[in-house]
A = this chain, B = another copy of it.
Amino acid sequence: MSSQSNQAPELKRADTGEAPMTNDDPLAKAPARLNELLERGEISPEAFAEYSATADAARPLTLDTSGHMHNTAPTRSVEVGGMRFAYRRFGNPVGTPIVLLQHFMGNLDTYDPAITDALSTYREVILTDNAGVGLSTGMAPETVAGMAGDAASLIDALGLEQVDLFGFSMGGYVAQKITVNRPELVRRLILVGTGPRGGEGMSQLAPETAPLFGKTYDPQDVMWLPIFFSPSEASQAAGRHYLERVRARTEDRDVPVPAATVAAHSAAAREWGAAAPGSFDYLNGISQPTLVVNGSNDIVVPTVNSYILQQNLPNAELILFPDSNHGSHFQFTERFNGYVTDFLDR
Which A residues lie at the B interface, using CB under 8 A? Answer: 24, 28-29, 57-58, 289, 296, 303-304, 307, 310-311, 313-323, 335, 338, 342
Contacts and interface: CB of A to CB of B under 8 A. Distances in A.
B318 A314 contact: no
7 contacts: A28-B58, A303-B311, A310-B320, A310-B322, A315-B322, A318-B318, A338-B342
Given A58-B29, A318-B319, A319-B319, A311 B296 contact: yes
> For the complex formed by this chain, how many copies does it contain in all?
2
Given A318-B320, A338-B342, 17 more contacts: A28-B58, A29-B57, A29-B58, A289-B322, A296-B311, A296-B316, A303-B311, A307-B307, A313-B322, A315-B322, A315-B323, A317-B319, A317-B320, A318-B318, A318-B319, A319-B319, A335-B342
Contacts of A29: 57-58
A21 to B, nearest CB: 15
Nearest to A324: B317
Nearest to A312: B296
Contacts of A318: 318-320
Contact of A323 (B24, B28, B57, B314): B314
A20 to B, nearest CB: 13
A202 to B, nearest CB: 17
A266 to B, nearest CB: 28
Contacts of A24: 58
